[in-house]
Amino acid sequence: MFIYTSIILASPVDDLKLFFNTELSFIQSSFNKLDKNYDISEGTFVRNSDNSVRVDVKSPFKEIYFLNKEGLEIHDLEFDQVKNIPIDEIDNFLVNFIINGDIDNSKINNLNENSFSIIEDNSKFYFEFLDQNTLQIKFKDNMEVNNLIKFTKK
């Protein structure tokens, strides 16, 4: 008798889509080239039932970001200001991924069991699952600042 066992392994790309459907906390480190120090931001990420997202930045500045298919609404709580950016004015891979969940497979590089990178508009985004509850993303932003965001499931 011949027994056939099939094991389906999820790729980190598939895991990424599921990961951002949970409540997360994050720490973002950005290297400040002027003073040669790291700027640290902390907060939470929540996907709502309508697929919109709320990001609360708790430090160093208090801000709330609301993201949906129409655009981004930024609330600066310290200065009591609100700014709206229509989605068609946002050209950012991470924002587009968070809203649409789509990744162009032809742009995926160096795929292995827990990490991969994506080249988008000459920018490289590196995704690595440190464990099933922790994801880190490394990238240079449009100002050429090195960023590292570590997301942790709550």
Q: What is the DSSP string of 59-111?
A: ESS-EEEEEETTEEEEEETTTTEEEEEEGGG---HHHHHHHH----GGGEES-
**Does residue 72 surpass a pLDDT of 90?**
yes
Alpha carbon distance 96, 145 (integer Å): 20
Residue 10 pLDDT level (bands cut at 50, 70, 90): low
Range with the poorest average pLDDT among 8-12, 34-38, 112-116, 128-132: 8-12
Quick one: pLDDT at residue 32?
Answer: 80
Instruction: Give the tens place of pLDDT for each residue, 76-121.
Output: 999 999 999 999 998 888 888 998 888 888 899 999 999 999 998 7
| Residue type, position 18, single letter | L
Quick one: pLDDT at residue 112?
Answer: 93
Q: What is the mean pLDDT of residues 43-65?
A: 96
Q: What is the DSSP letter of 14?
A: H
Classify 12-153 by CATH class: mainly beta
Quick one: pLDDT at residue 121?
Answer: 78
Highest mean pLDDT out of 11-15, 26-30, 93-97, 142-146: 26-30
In the chain, domain spans = 12-153
